[in-house]
Amino acid sequence: MASLPPGNMGFPLIGETLQLLFDPNFAIKRFQKYGPIFKTRILGKRAVFMSGPEAAEFILSSHMDCFTWRDGWPETFKVLLGQSLFVQEGDEHRRNRKLMMPAFHGPALARYVATMTTITESYLKRWEEKREFIWYSEFKQLTFDIASQIFLGSHPGEDTARLSQLFTTLTNGLFGLGLRKAIAARNEILDHLTQVIRDRQTRPTNDALSLLIQARDENGDSLSLEEIRAQAMLLLFAGHETTTAMLTWICLELARHPEMLERARIEQSRLLQQTITPMQTGRTQNIIPTSVSPTRPCLTLEQLGNMPYLEQILSETERLHPPVAGGFRGAVKPFEFRGYQIPAGWLVQYSILQTQRSPEVYTHPEQFDPDRFSPERQESKQTPFSLIGFGGGPRICLGIAFAKLEMKVVMAYLLRDYVWELLPAQSLEPVIVPTRRPKDGLKVRFGRRPI
Ligand code: HEM
């Protein structure tokens, strides 16, 4: 008979929860000791951690019927994020995901670029004035401004600042820090959303919320007020912490690798040389208007689709520094993996961090090497489910295209006109909760590039 995998269940009840929360190498150490699957006890539950492309494919695709998302999240997520995509399954999940999809792909995405650009430019100006700052906190505000303006049509200023504060309280609650305050914050956010939705119902605009309100399924039914509020709150939550962490890592790695920074700058300069500005031609089609510096050459949609080296940098950052270190599921059926038997009711985690460091897939996996994604090498292409920073299978991240576009817009502007250097006396070691990021948030000195 198949046995349970190796591992240590830790102390009664609490198991190894503290080690998981405070040791960024919790899973890596145990994978090294036990191999690609080990057992433990966390958050009061018996659990297995699994790593490698084979495990990821098993959980995300071939055996996904053995698992639910709902049972993988702690209670706090169900309480605070309500009936949103994260805790939905089966037909209900499929229907809602389909209704939400148009707001994050195709023509809708192209419309968002102008907002992303305008907000990015206002932050560039602010950073130039500040000169020294912690980039993680700045990116967090930037990405929240973008998300709240695009998802809810909020205007930067008091409303966004208040919402951002409420979200910080909510996120703390999700990770077990101050549930009572987090519930009060959630209620305030829901009240705000109710008002905005009522307003959009009478006066539709171009934001994602209006698209959600107008969306209809095959039967002609729309999402209820309750559903729209829950999904909008999830999008704000899922749509900014992650992008923040990844932008921070990209800027850190480029500061550590000047030769890569230079190559990425050259790619941007080439694109700029081909730029046709509206002033030169009188044409405005596909040119993204900028509000802050009308003299700066505009970023065009064509250019955004033509940045292969920047895309390699994004993929390599996703691989080496995934903001989400792994995804949790609940096993609803017993299952067997690699000769081990796991009972129903256990918690299961597929490790993104460890899978993306598989030496069978990636040469020198500990090194930051964007060229592993070059057309000649394409290391991840030979093995399905080896690059899974956005998850994979039918429930791959809904915001993947949105996030990549946003990061490209921000990075293109940074590469074109700015320099940054790391300040001394800071820890760049990763912490993992709520998203994986450098401990001190990346302190930098920032300025305009000399011409
Ligand atoms: C760099 C940025 C991002 C990263 C690294 C990221 C990562 C992920 C990962 C790993 C998952 C799957 C988790 C699992 O399998 O348990 C996921 C799911 C999801 N993400 Fe993202 N995400 C990012 C940005 C966004 C953005 C901008 C949005 C919203 C616009 C978003 C919305 C979602 C949603 C709704 C799901 C659940 C999809 C479903 O259950 O069908 N994410 N994301």
Q: Whose CA is nearest to atom 30 of ligand 1?
A: 399
pLDDT for 356: 98
Residue 330 CB less than 6 A away from ligand 1: no
In the structure, what pLDDT confidence band is assigned to residue 297 with cuts at 50, 70 and 90? low
Percent share of the chain, pLDDT over 70: 95
Q: Is the CB of 326 under 6 A from ligand 1?
A: no
Q: Answer yes or no: is 8 within a domain.
A: no
Is 9 among the domain residues?
no
Atom 21 of ligand 1, nearest CA residue? 397
CATH number at residue 34: 1.10.630.10
- In this prediction, residues 68-91 reach a mean pLDDT of 89
350 Cα to the center of ligand 1, angstroms:
15
Q: What is the mean pLDDT of residues 298-307?
A: 87
Under the banding of pLDDT at 50, 70 and 90, the label for residue 289 is: very low
What per-residue confidence (pLDDT) applies to 296? Answer: 60
Output 16 or 414, whichever has higher pLDDT: 414
In a domain, 6, yes or no: no
d(CA 139, CA 135): 6
Per residue in 222-243, pLDDT tens? 898 889 999 998 998 888 889 9
* pLDDT averaged over every residue in the chain: 90
Mean pLDDT of 155-178: 84
91 Cα to the center of ligand 1, angstroms: 19
Pocket test for ligand 1, best of 315, 320, 353, 397 (most atoms within 8 A of CB): 397
Ligand 1 proximity of 135 Cβ (cutoff 6 Å): no
Query: What pLDDT shows up at residue 428?
Result: 95
Is position 336 within any domain?
Answer: yes
Does the residue 228 lie in any domain? yes
> Could you tell me the pLDDT band of residue 174, with boundaries at 50, 70 and 90?
confident
Which residue puts its alpha carbon closest to atom 41 of ligand 1?
A: 395
The pLDDT of residue 308 is above 90? yes
CA of 160 to the centre of ligand 1 (A): 22
Ligand 1 contacts CB of residue 395 (under 6 A) = yes
Ligand 1 near 45 CB (within 6 A): no
Residue whose CA is at the smallest distance from ligand 1 atom 17: 397
Judge whether 10 lies within some domain. no
pLDDT band at 408 (very low <50, low <70, confident <90, very high): very high
Residue closest by Cα to atom 6 of ligand 1: 390
Residue 246 Cβ inside 6 Å of ligand 1? The answer reads yes
Once rounded to an integer, what is the mean pLDDT over residues 130-139? 96
Does ligand 1 lie within 6 Å of residue 136's CB atom? no
Is residue 285 over pLDDT 80? no
Q: Cα separation of 415 and 408, whole Å? A: 10
Range name among 90-104, 259-273, 311-325, 424-438 with the lowest pLDDT average: 424-438
Q: What are phi and psi of 331, to 5 degrees?
A: -80, 120
Closest CA relative to residue 392, chosen from 322, 336, 316, 320: 322
| pLDDT for the residue 279 | 40
Name the least confident of 69-78, 254-263, 327-336, 371-380.
69-78
* Stretch 341-346: mean pLDDT: 96
pLDDT per position as a tens digit, 6-61: 998 988 778 888 888 888 888 999 999 999 999 999 988 999 999 999 999 999 99
How close is the Cα of 398 to the center of ligand 1, in Å?
A: 6
Question: Ligand 1, closest atom to CA 240?
Answer: 27
> Ligand 1 centre from 273 Cα, in Å?
35
Give mean pLDDT, residues 317-346. Answer: 96
pLDDT band at 435 (very low <50, low <70, confident <90, very high): confident
Nearest ligand 1 atom, CA 323: 5
Q: Which domain range does residue 210 map to?
A: 17-448
pLDDT digits (tens, 9 = 90+) for 389-405: 999 999 999 999 999 99
In this prediction, residue 146 carries a pLDDT of 94
Cβ of 94 closer than 6 Å to ligand 1, yes or no, is no
Q: Is 116 inside a domain boundary?
A: yes
Ligand 1 center to 205 CA (angstroms):
25
The predicted structure's pLDDT at residue 287: 44
Q: How far apart are the first and last CA of the chain?
A: 71
* Proportion of the chain above pLDDT 90, given as a percent: 65
**Is pLDDT above 90 for 317?**
yes
In a domain, 364, yes or no: yes
Domain count, the chain: 1
- Contact 310/264 with Cβ under 8 angstroms? yes
Tell me the average pLDDT across 286-294. Answer: 46
Q: Are 105 and 396 in contact (CB under 8 A)?
A: no
Q: What's the pLDDT tens digit per position in 362-386?
A: 999 999 999 999 999 999 999 999 9
